[in-house]
Amino acid sequence: MEFTVNLGSKSYPIIIDRSIASRMPDILKTDFPKSRFALVTNCTIAKLYASMIDSWKSSLNLAVHEMPDGEQYKTIDTWEAILDFLIRNKFERSSVLIALGGGVVGDVAGFAASAFLRGIPFVQIPTTLLAMVDSSVGGKTAVDHPLGKNLIGAFWQPKRVFVDTAFLDTLPQNEFISGYAELFKYGFISGRAMFDFVKRNNDAMLNREPDVLLQGILKSVEAKADVVSQDEFETKGLRALLNYGHTFAHSLERFYNFSGVLHGEAVLWGMKCAYNLGKRIGTVASSDYSIFESVMASMPLPALPGKPDPESLYSMMFTDKKVESGKVRFIVPTTPGVSIVKGDIDSSDVIATLKEIFG
Ligand SMILES: NC(=O)c1ccc[n+]([C@@H]2O[C@H](COP(=O)([O-])OP(=O)(O)OC[C@H]3O[C@@H](n4cnc5c(N)ncnc54)[C@H](O)[C@@H]3O)[C@@H](O)[C@H]2O)c1
């Protein structure tokens, strides 16, 4: 399956299928006949997929750079090491950088592609569910700074994205659930059909039934591509909807000092908070409570490392980089599949919601 992210001259195809990665070298050789290819991955994926990478090395004459594994390496030092590798190997402006990995590899390699020789073509091959449904599409690239996540980066759209669901076979369950949170999220922001799809297929997707999961990933990627096409640089408010559940999630992650809870796990709790907040302030009509709650009940909520303190969670929301003029924006549901951004919610409603859930 293939469809396009429509961004004028920056449009690109997303090619989705099980085992599509095996066709990647032929597709790239056809699409970039005069280019040299560099691949950035991490040490975990390099080991798991060594024979696949070896076969790519011979068919594409690839030079491979391995970065260490982990969010703690999403740094300017890792970015600089990728640039060193590109410079030492005499890559050129026409060269293509391929990122093979989860969101961390994609973000830092994409940022390196955006900066090397003022920008070279970049291809994403996501290997986590989170990267497939979220980070590989949309062109946000970044590294973290000691004072905050993703503070240094660029918008740099890939030229191709290959989504191969066979990579998920080796993905640990907690990472799978973390990525599933982002897929589940589209059920709240991408229209009634997506809400119904998630409601109907939640269990099958959680059981990793290949065909249903592929459908869910396809629908998620289409939803993200649609938002990105309309709001590439996050200036029109549409892209903000992708942060459904994230205002709460970011403060949870900060509360636990980014340890013991994966991003998507925090997003699952964040979506529960967002729904309860919507219910409290009346954006959700009582006639819709039961349909929403039947979906919420199927959400795979993970255990948290300890009981979070509602007041601290609330104050941590103000350190989020998405806070504008001291106002925290929340995304709350209205009807199944539809959510809105609200910047004028009373602190007492937010704190009461946090107490209701964590109190
Ligand atoms: N650019 C964006 O729009 C965007 C959106 C959402 C998140 N992000 C970023 O994405 C990052 C999180 O991404 P992630 O959840 O993919 O984490 P990750 O990249 O750290 O991957 C999670 C773990 O899974 C391992 N892994 C990856 N693929 C595997 C596979 N197929 N089999 C076995 N293990 C595998 C990785 O080595 C790692 O240990 C964060 O840095 C976040 O800021 C970016």
Dist. CA 259 → ligand 1 center (Å):
15
What is the chain's mean pLDDT, rounded?
95
pLDDT of 322 above 90: no
39, 56 in Cβ contact below 8 A? yes
Which range has the worst mean pLDDT, 168-172, 188-192, 235-239, 290-294? 235-239
Dist. CA 21 → ligand 1 center (Å):
18
> What would the pLDDT profile of 186-222 be if each residue is shown by its tens digit?
999 999 999 999 999 999 999 999 999 999 999 999 9
Same domain, 117 and 224: no
What is the mean pLDDT of the segment spanning 270-291?
A: 97
Measured CA to CA in angstroms, residue 175 lies from 31, 100, 168, 215 at distances of 33, 16, 10, 19
Question: What CATH code is carried by the domain that includes residue 186?
Answer: 1.20.1090.10
* Bridge pairing between strands 140-145 and 63-67: unpaired
What is the mean pLDDT of the segment spanning 78-100?
A: 98
Instruction: Round to whole Å and give the CA distance between 66 and 89.
Output: 14
Same domain, 63 and 162: yes
Identify the residue whose C-alpha is closest to ligand 1 atom 44: 135
Question: What CATH code is carried by the domain that includes residue 72?
Answer: 3.40.50.1970
Instruction: Round to whole Å and give the CA distance between 299 and 183.
Output: 11
> What would the pLDDT profile of 4-52 be if each residue is shown by its tens digit?
999 999 999 999 999 999 999 999 999 999 999 999 999 999 999 999 9
Atom of ligand 1 lying closest to residue 142 CA: 1
Q: pTM here?
A: 0.96
DSSP state string for 34-75: T--EEEEEEHHHHHHTHHHHHHHHHHHT-EEEEEPSSGGG-S
Same domain, 161 and 219: no
Tokens encoding 307: 């009981």
Residue from 49, 135, 243 whose mutation best tests the ligand 1 pocket (most atoms within 8 A of CB): 135
Same domain, 237 and 152: no
Instruction: Note the pLDDT of residue 209.
Output: 96
- Phi and psi torsions of 66, nearest 5°: -105, 125
Does 222 contact ligand 1 (Cβ within 6 A)? no
* Bridge pairing between strands 338-342 and 330-335: antiparallel
Question: Among residues 83, 76, 72, which one has the least CA distance to residue 112?
Answer: 83
Range of the domain at 85: 2-169
